[in-house]
Amino acid sequence: MEAQYPSCQKCNNGILIPLSDYGRQGSEIRYKAWVCTNPDCGFNIRIDNGELSFGHKLEKSNK
């Protein structure tokens, strides 16, 4: 059984691995966030309440 994760589109060096979280009732929220394994990249994607958000570690947002 092989798990295949997508390669990071930002750095093409690391792979994106899924992180799971747990809800208030202890229910598992699978694949809530994906993070790049390359520490120099730090690319991450989160899913909050069905909305996708991208985290850019060293970039500031224009909000």
Among 15, 18, 32, 38, binds Zn ion (CB under 5 A): 38
Q: d(Cα 7, Cα 58) in Å, to the nearest integer?
A: 20
- Site size for Zn ion, by CB under 5 A? 8
Q: Judged by CB under 5 A, which stretch of 14-22, 24-32, 47-55 contacts Zn ion?
A: 14-22
37 in contact with Zn ion (CB under 5 A): no
Nearest to 14 by CA among 54, 34, 46, 41: 41
Q: d(Cα 11, Cα 35) in Å, to the nearest integer?
A: 12
Q: Which is nearer to Zn ion, 34 or 43 (CB)?
A: 43
